[in-house]
Structure 1
């Protein structure tokens, strides 16, 4: 996944960034530290008609929640070493506990098949309930990851008829994503088929969008054509949506079919400026500039040309201009720099940008990316305005950057003179 995290203005990772998934449900085992167990455990007990064979030795804790004495011992007796076989008849109880769940996960990673076989029969009858549990979902994910082929197949069969419901649920969506990563293509196909008719509902959902992204990443395109085709004609609307913009980025990354790329990119290219100005659309444009084909990047830069100064003074589009400077070719970069310098010796556009809360970052990026010849020219233009800039909050950023560059530049000149003499 491409990281487009220029976030000095946005204040949070961009929606396609791996860190963004720390706000919304993510895949993987993650940290339990801040996850609070709900009333699930007691609810599950009652839904199963009281203690089952997995809770033979039952007591009640101060919260009035049933818990097995074995789990109590596991959490209090630090001297006794526990193995998976030791928790037979208590597996569900452990799975729905923060520390018990973590114990099972760690053991599953290296457990021999006979150990897994001892606890798996207890998991299967309660698999769907565990999938939506705050701690149980991680145990199911680990079985998908480290279980035997047979265990994986049995768990996948538990998903049948429930894929959409689980995809829209906070913890269930993680299980669906993990399953899509590990099951065979035929099972993938069977799973994604259950989303047909609900693609847009999933894309717009804080949990479901992760499942759609995973479908695009892991399932062959010929099996998810109904997903991809539902985006045609909707690319701009999706790109300006907090979850939709992630999905469009995944399509651009993973769908290599020429027709798909042409349709999606065609819709993007018709609205480059509007998308660049949008709080979510800017990430799609950044993605194309960083990861797209050179001719696509050039087309975007040519559409932005003439508006670079205005764009640089805008919260979201300024990120796009920085990406153009970072990934554009030398000629494209020069085109942008010339536009910022303006047509007179006063360099009004550059002056305005240096004083701007967003534009000043773009000027700093110019100083980072331009060639020596341009750098010398820009420094000479900026030096004239240094004292004035010191009066402006954002101008001060430029002043400190320029003073460092001047010092290193003079040092470089001094070194070259001493070498030549």
Structure 2
């Protein structure tokens, strides 16, 4: 500060001592002249209008027009200038840097850590097949195939065609194969099908490969679907019991017109399939997809098993479908054993759901028969047992909703006979349900 004052004294002489106001005006004029001499920009508006100039003139803005490059180039992260000492607005103006490879048009789609990882993989000149196995590079290749031209698409596909079976089973690369199947022409789909066909069983049983096969079934032609089905026909039962393969079988049932042979396989192995966690899905899919006249033999095999399946963790779904859409004979059989074993069925975790489904669709005569069974004089009272049960109280709520006014009155009379201490937490749930019903 002292040096600055001394230099000013040397420049303006005795003015500092004679007139302080004149001194300050002179100092400000010197400062302004120095600012204009240092920069040709008169204002920040002028600075804003100056177009940014790239250091390397050969590089282009995104997307790249070079057909040999299937990546997209965009401007790199901008470096913000330090705030100017004379204005707080200076930090709003930024200077561009040379572009780098970047996977998406949207700024900020990838973090800085991901971008560095992608740059390092590009520097190492990895093959496209190897890059497909990287979590982030696979996203670049998917985007490049979707938005690229024919030359770029052919370059990507030719680079991975020999590794299709391996890439289809990879946790990241399988998404690249699926995107190619969705966005390519029929000739490329045929090549993919021919490459994967020898490994079809292995692919169907793989966690990621089964997704590629399902995607392929959505887009290949009918004669190719028939060829694929013929390849797995001898292994259908194994695929039904497989965690991944059963999804392929479900896709075949949805899309193939000649998949009735699956009904025969399910009918011949009905005992094991309907009680299996994956097999029951196939049985349900058959019941939901095929018309009833094609399911006659399957229904004949299922009806004797309904009582057993009602208590099964997976088989109860089959019985519920039989109640909703099955033949009338099946509905009668299910209703018969539910009424005969109402106490046992209503207290089971899975069978109670079947009982609720049946009561919802039961006729008035069936409801009257169930009401007579519940009102029988026995000890302990059957009505109280179900009301106080963890699952039975929901059956009773559903049953009460189906009763007519006279039957509801009978149930209320029976409940008023019991003392408050005779109801546990589940029984109190039923009492709250009754209070809500009569509140309206």
TM-score, length-scaled by structure 1: 0.68
- Provide the rounded CA distance (Å) in 1 between the counterparts of 2:149 and 2:408: 62
- Is the Cα–Cα contact under 8 Å of residues 232 and 263 in structure 1 kept in the other structure? yes
Residue correspondence of structure 1 range 19-418 to structure 2 within 5 A: 76=112, 91-105=128-142, 116-220=153-257, 222=258, 224-256=259-291, 258=293, 260-293=294-327, 296-326=330-360, 328-331=361-364, 334-335=367-368, 337-338=370-371, 341-344=374-377, 348-370=381-403, 374-385=407-418, 387-390=420-423, 392-406=424-438, 408=439, 412=440
In 2 relative to 1, CA 296–136 (structure 1 residues): closer, same or farther, beyond 3 Å? same
Q: Secondary structure at the match of 2:198?
A: coil
Q: Following TM superposition, by how much is the alpha carbon of 1:265 offset from its aligned partner in structure 2, in angstroms?
A: 0.7
Q: Following TM superposition, by how much is the alpha carbon of 1:159 offset from its aligned partner in structure 2, in angstroms?
A: 1.9
Larger radius of gyration between Structure 1 and Structure 2: 2
- Provide the rounded CA distance (Å) in 2 between the counterparts of 1:107 and 1:386: 74
- Is the Cα–Cα contact under 8 Å of residues 309 and 339 in structure 1 kept in the other structure? no
Deviations 1:263-300 (A, max 9, x none): 11111101111011112211111122234355643443
- Is the Cα–Cα contact under 8 Å of residues 169 and 206 in structure 2 kept in the other structure? yes
In 2 relative to 1, CA 282–142 (structure 1 residues): closer, same or farther, beyond 3 Å? same
Structure 1 unaligned spans of 5+: 1-52, 55-68, 413-421
- Provide the rounded CA distance (Å) in 1 between the counterparts of 2:192 and 2:172: 17
Q: Following TM superposition, by how much is the alpha carbon of 1:386 offset from its aligned partner in structure 2, in angstroms?
A: 6.7
Q: Following TM superposition, by how much is the alpha carbon of 1:214 offset from its aligned partner in structure 2, in angstroms?
A: 1.8
Q: Following TM superposition, by how much is the alpha carbon of 1:166 offset from its aligned partner in structure 2, in angstroms?
A: 0.8
- Provide the rounded CA distance (Å) in 1 between the counterparts of 2:368 and 2:177: 54
TM-score, length-scaled by structure 2: 0.66
Q: Following TM superposition, by how much is the alpha carbon of 1:121 offset from its aligned partner in structure 2, in angstroms?
A: 2.3
In 2 relative to 1, CA 92–309 (structure 1 residues): closer, same or farther, beyond 3 Å? same
- Is the Cα–Cα contact under 8 Å of residues 343 and 386 in structure 2 kept in the other structure? yes
- Provide the rounded CA distance (Å) in 2 between the counterparts of 1:134 and 1:277: 38
Q: Give the equivalent residue in structure 2 for 1:32.
A: none
RMSD: 3.6
Q: How many residues align?
A: 333
